[in-house]
Structure 1
Amino acid sequence: MKRVIYLTAMLGAGLISTSSSAQQVSDSVMPKASLQDCIQYALTHQPAVKQSLLDQEIAEHTIKSKLADWYPQLNLAAGLNHYLKLQTSYFNGAAITTGVANTSSAAFTLTQNIFNRDVLLASRTAKVVRQQAAQNTTSNQIDVVSNVSKAYYDMLLTKAQVAVLDEDIVRLERSLKDAYNQYQSGIVDKTDYKRATISLNNAKAQKKTGEESLKAKNALLKQYMGFPADSALDVRYDTIQMAQNVQLDTNTTVTYQNRIEYQLLQTQRSLLEAELRYNKWSYLPTVSASGSYTFAYFNKDFGKLYNNNYPNSLVGLTVSLPIFQGFKRTHNIKIAELNIKRTDWDVEALKQQINTQYTQAMATYKSNLNEYFVMQENVELAKEVFNLIDLQYREGIKTYLEVITAQTDLRSAELNYYNAMYTVLSSKIDLEVALGTLTPSIQ
C-alpha cells in the first residue's frame, strides 16, 4: 500500500513538472504557430495591452478612492504642550496670567458627507469611467489583432515566395543539366546552358533576398506580439486556409456603433454630461454632519498632568453655500455645455471619416479580390504553358529560349499570386476594421 502511494505521488510530481516545463516552452517557443496562436499570445503579452489592463486597475482604484469619501471619516489628533511662559489676559483693568504650564489633549472627530457634489460626481460616473477604461483596452487590442494579422500574413507571403523560388530552382537546375547535356552532345550551342545558368543565379539571388527579408518580418511579428526577441518563432504555412480566408461579404454596410472610436466618443459625451450636472450642483449647498470627543488634561505639575481628565464633546451640522463667486459658476456651466456641443461635432466628423474609410477599404478590397482571382487563373495557365513548352523542347520542337520565358512567366505568376493573396488578406483586415467587425474575440 505504501509503495502504491509513493508511486502515485511521484507520478503526480512528474506530471506537475512536465506541465510547468511545457508552459515555459509555450511562453518562449512557438513552433509552427497559427494566426490564432499569435493573436492569443499577443493579447496576453503585448506591452500596450498589458498597460491598458493596468490602466483599468488604476481607474478602478481611483473610483474606489473617490467613493471612499461617502464613508464616515474618523480622525485622531493628539498634542502635548508646555508653556515656558503662561499667557496674559487683560481683565477689569488689570493684566492677569491665565492657564497652566502643562496641557495635553486627544480629540476624536467623525465627519459624514450628506451632500457633496464631488463625491456625488464620483458615484454617478463610476460606471462610465470603468466603461471608458475597458473601451481603451479594447481599442488597443483591436490594433494588436490588426497588426499581428498583417505581420503574420506578410511573413507567410515571404515564406510562400521562398518556396516558389525553391521549386523554380529545382526546375532550372534540371533545365541547366538538360541544356548542358545537349551542348555536350553537339545538338545545341553553349547559349542555352549559359542562359540557364543566368536564370538559375537570378533565382538563387531572389531566394537569398527573400530569406533575409523573412528574418526582418519575423522580428516585426515578434514585436507586435510582445514575443521575446531571442526566442524561436515560426508560423504555420497553409495556403489552402489562407485562400479560404480571402472572402468577405461585400454587402455588409457600416454601422457606426460597432466602431470602438464611436463608442469612446459616446462615453466621453456621457462624462461631459456628468460634468455639466456637476457644475449645476455648485448652486446647491454642501452638507455634512460631524461629531467630536476630546480628552483634555491640565496641570501645573507635569508629573500629575494625566491625573485628571476634563473631556468635552459635540455634534454638529455644517452647511456651506457660496453666495457670489463673480459669475464663475455660470461660466463653468456654459463651458460644459459648449464642450458637449463640440463633442457632438466630433461625432459628426467621425461619422464622415468612417464613411470615407469604409468606402476606400471596400473599393480596395474588391479591387484586390478581383486581382487575386486573376492571378490565381494566371498560375494555372502559366503551369499549362510551361509543361507544354517543356515537353515540346524535349522533343526538339521548341527552342530553349521559349522554355526560359515560360519558366520566368510561371515564377512571376506564382509570386504575383501570393502577393495578391497577402494584399487581399491585408485589405480584408482594413475593411473589417472599417466595419467595426474586427474585435479581440475574433481569433
Structure 2
Amino acid sequence: MKNRICFIISLLFSAGGPLLAQVPDTLNYKFSLKEAIDYAVKHQSAVLNATIDEEIARNDVKKTVGTGLPQVSASYNFQDYLKLPTTLLPGEFLSPPSPTPIPVKFGTKYNSTAGIELSQLIFDGTFFVGLQASKTYKELSVRASTRTKIETVVAVTKAYYSVLVNREQLKLIDANLTQLTKSFNETEAMFKNGFVEKIDADRLQVLKNNLETERENAIRSLSINTDLLKFQMGMPVGAVLVPTDQINDIRSEAVSIVPADSTAYKKRIEYALLETQRKLNLLDVKRYKSAYLPTLKGFASASKNFQSDDFSSHYDQSFPTSVIGFTLSWNLISGGQRIYDVRNAKLSVRKTENSMLDLKNGIANEISASQKLYMNSQRSVENQERNLRLAEEILRVTRIKYGQGVGSSLEVTTAETSLREAQNNYITALYNLLINKVDLDKALGNINY
C-alpha cells in the first residue's frame, strides 16, 4: 500500500513539472514607447476612472430621456377602521326636526383601493433644453476622458525617456570605467616596477572609486525611474520591464516648428473642453428662459374600490373608477428669480469666453516658449556631443603622452575629470532635449490617443 501511494505521488510530480513549465511568466515585459502607452491606457487607474465617467454620462443622458417618456405607477391602499368615523348631521334634517346635531357613523369597517396611473409629459421647455444639455454633458465627459489619456501619455513618455537617458548614462560610465580600470592597472604595474610614483596610482584610484560610486548611483536611479515608469503605466511595481526603443531613434524624430500666428490651439483638448463648457452655459441661458413657458402633462388612471364589514367577502364587490385629463401649470410671477437666473447664466457664458481667450493666449505663449527651449536643447546636445568627443580625444592623447614618459599623471587625472564632466553635461542636455520634445508636442496638440 505504501509503495502504491509513493508511485501515485511520483506520477503527480512528474506530470506537474511540464505543466508548470508551460505557464508563461506574465510579469516580464519588453515594451517600446507605443506599447508602454497602449498598456497604460488599458491599465492606468485614472484612465479607467475616466472611462467609467463616460459610461456614467451616457447613463445620465438615458435617464434624462426617460423623464419625457410615459410614467406608469401602481398603488394599493387597505384600511381597517377599528372605529368608524362619526359625522354630525344637522337636526333640521330629521322628522320632527331637532335643535341639536345628530351623530351618525358612515362607511364600512374594511376599505381598500387598487389603482394604476399613466402620465405623459406633453410640453415642458426645460425638459427639451435639458435633453440637449445632457448630450453636451456626455460630450464633455468624453473630452475629459481624452484629456486624461493625453496626460497619461505625456507622463508615460517622460518616464520612458528618463529610463533611456539613465541607460545611456550607465553605458558611458561603464565605458569610462573600463578604460580607467585599464589605466589604473597599467599605472599600478609601472609603480611596482619603479617607473612612476605611488601618487600617480593613488590619483587614478581616487578617480576609479568615485566613478564606481557614480555607477552605483546611476544603477539606483535607473531602478527608481523604471519603477516610476511602471507606476505611470499602471503596471505592478514588482514586474520586470525592459524598454526596447533606442535613444538615437527618438532623437531623430523631428518636431514641427509652427509660425507664431498658428491656430494650433484648436488642436488642444483644453480648448475643446472650454468650447463644450460654453455650449453648456448657453444651454443654461436657454433653460432659464424656457422657465417662462407653461408645462403641460396628460394623465389617465383607473382604480377599484372595495368596501365591506366582513373581511371574508371584502373582495366580492368592487366599485371601479377611471379618469383621463391633463394638467397645465404656468408660473406667472416668481419674484424676479427667473430674471436673475438668466442674467447669471449669461454672465457664466462671458466668463467661459474670457477663459477661452486667456487659454488661447496662454497656448500661443506656451508654444513659443516650448519651441525656443526645444531648439536651445538641440543646440546644447550638439555642443555637448562635440565637447564629449573632444574630452575623449584629449584623454586618449594624454594617456599616450603619459605612457611615453612625456606627460604627467596630473594631466591624465585632469583629463579623466574633464571627461566625466563632459559626460554628465551631455546626459543632462540629452534629458532636457527629450523632455522639451514632449512638452513641445503637447503644446502643439500633437499628442492624442
Fold conserved (TM > 0.5)?
A: yes
**Change over 3 Å in CA distance of 1:168–1:63 after alignment to 2:** same
CA distance in 1 between counterparts of 2:434 and 2:156 reads: 13
Structure 1 residue aligned with 2:430: 421
Structure 2 residue aligned with 1:331: 340
CA distance in 1 between counterparts of 2:273 and 2:385 reads: 41
Structure 2 residue aligned with 1:160: 168
Q: 1:317 aligns with which of 320, 323, 326?
A: 326
Structure 1 residue aligned with 2:286: 277
Q: 2:393 aligns with which of 361, 384, 400?
A: 384
Q: 1:255 aligns with which of 240, 245, 264?
A: 264
Aligned 1:203-352 pairs, distance under 5 A: 203-236=211-244, 238-245=246-253, 247-251=254-258, 253=262, 255-352=264-361
Q: 1:85 aligns with which of 71, 83, 86?
A: 83
Letter in 1 for 2:229: L
Structure 1 length as normaliser, TM-score? 0.89
Q: Confirm or deny that 1:146 pairs with 2:149.
A: no
Letter in 2 for 1:217: N
Aligned 1:175-190 pairs, distance under 5 A: 175-190=183-198
Structure 2 residue aligned with 1:126: 134
User: Contact 2:402–2:408 (CA<8 Å) still a contact in 1?
Assistant: yes
Q: Report the alpha carbon displacement of residue 387 of structure 1 after superposing the two structures with TM.
A: 2.6
Runs of 4+ more than 6 Å apart: none
User: Contact 1:67–1:122 (CA<8 Å) still a contact in 2?
Assistant: no
Q: Report the alpha carbon displacement of residue 140 of structure 1 after superposing the two structures with TM.
A: 0.9
Q: Report the alpha carbon displacement of residue 91 of structure 1 after superposing the two structures with TM.
A: 4.2
CA distance in 2 between counterparts of 1:265 and 1:223 reads: 30
Q: Confirm or deny that 1:47 pairs with 2:45.
A: yes
**Change over 3 Å in CA distance of 1:322–1:365 after alignment to 2:** same
Structure 2 residue aligned with 1:432: 441
Identical columns (%)? 29
Q: Report the alpha carbon displacement of residue 235 of structure 1 after superposing the two structures with TM.
A: 2.3
**Unpaired runs of at least 5, structure 2:** 1-18, 92-101
User: Contact 2:126–2:290 (CA<8 Å) still a contact in 1?
Assistant: no
Q: Report the alpha carbon displacement of residue 50 of structure 1 after superposing the two structures with TM.
A: 0.8
CA distance in 1 between counterparts of 2:198 and 2:309 reads: 124
**Change over 3 Å in CA distance of 1:251–1:346 after alignment to 2:** closer
Q: Report the alpha carbon displacement of residue 118 of structure 1 after superposing the two structures with TM.
A: 4.2
Q: Report the alpha carbon displacement of residue 198 of structure 1 after superposing the two structures with TM.
A: 0.8
CA distance in 1 between counterparts of 2:114 and 2:445 reads: 62
Q: Report the alpha carbon displacement of residue 189 of structure 1 after superposing the two structures with TM.
A: 1.5
Partner-residue secondary structure (3-state), 2:73: strand
User: Contact 2:302–2:323 (CA<8 Å) still a contact in 1?
Assistant: yes
Q: Report the alpha carbon displacement of residue 359 of structure 1 after superposing the two structures with TM.
A: 2.1
CA distance in 1 between counterparts of 2:155 and 2:263 reads: 21
CA distance in 2 between counterparts of 1:419 and 1:111 reads: 71
Partner-residue secondary structure (3-state), 1:270: helix
The size of the alignment, in residue pairs, is 418
Q: Confirm or deny that 1:62 pairs with 2:60.
A: yes
- Which moves more between the two structures, 175-184 or 132-141? 175-184
Q: Report the alpha carbon displacement of residue 425 of structure 1 after superposing the two structures with TM.
A: 0.9
- Which moves more between the two structures, 271-280 or 152-161? 152-161
Partner-residue secondary structure (3-state), 2:67: helix
Q: Pairwise CA RMSD of aligned residues?
A: 2.0
**Change over 3 Å in CA distance of 1:122–1:363 after alignment to 2:** same
CA distance in 1 between counterparts of 2:153 and 2:202 reads: 49
Q: Report the alpha carbon displacement of residue 220 of structure 1 after superposing the two structures with TM.
A: 1.6
Partner-residue secondary structure (3-state), 1:387: helix
**Change over 3 Å in CA distance of 1:53–1:183 after alignment to 2:** same
Partner-residue secondary structure (3-state), 2:319: coil
**Unpaired runs of at least 5, structure 1:** 1-16
CA distance in 2 between counterparts of 1:396 and 1:61 reads: 84
Q: Report the alpha carbon displacement of residue 386 of structure 1 after superposing the two structures with TM.
A: 2.6
Give a deviation string over 1:5-64, Cα, whole Å, max 9, x none: xxxxxxxxxxxx99x955x71xx331x322122211111111111111111111111221
Q: Report the alpha carbon displacement of residue 351 of structure 1 after superposing the two structures with TM.
A: 1.7
User: Contact 1:114–1:287 (CA<8 Å) still a contact in 2?
Assistant: yes
CA distance in 2 between counterparts of 1:135 and 1:75 reads: 38
Partner-residue secondary structure (3-state), 2:60: helix
Structure 1 residue aligned with 2:28: 29
- Which moves more between the two structures, 265-274 or 190-199? 190-199
User: Contact 1:164–1:415 (CA<8 Å) still a contact in 2?
Assistant: no
Work out which of the two has the higher radius of gyration on C-alpha atoms and give 1 or 2. Answer: 2
Structure 2 length as normaliser, TM-score? 0.88
Structure 2 residue aligned with 1:14: none
Structure 1 residue aligned with 2:199: 191
Q: Confirm or deny that 1:404 pairs with 2:413.
A: yes
Partner-residue secondary structure (3-state), 1:171: helix
Q: Report the alpha carbon displacement of residue 373 of structure 1 after superposing the two structures with TM.
A: 1.2
Partner-residue secondary structure (3-state), 1:430: helix
Q: Report the alpha carbon displacement of residue 282 of structure 1 after superposing the two structures with TM.
A: 0.5
Give a deviation string over 1:376-399, Cα, whole Å, max 9, x none: 222222233333333333333333
CA distance in 1 between counterparts of 2:263 and 2:375 reads: 16
Partner-residue secondary structure (3-state), 2:447: coil
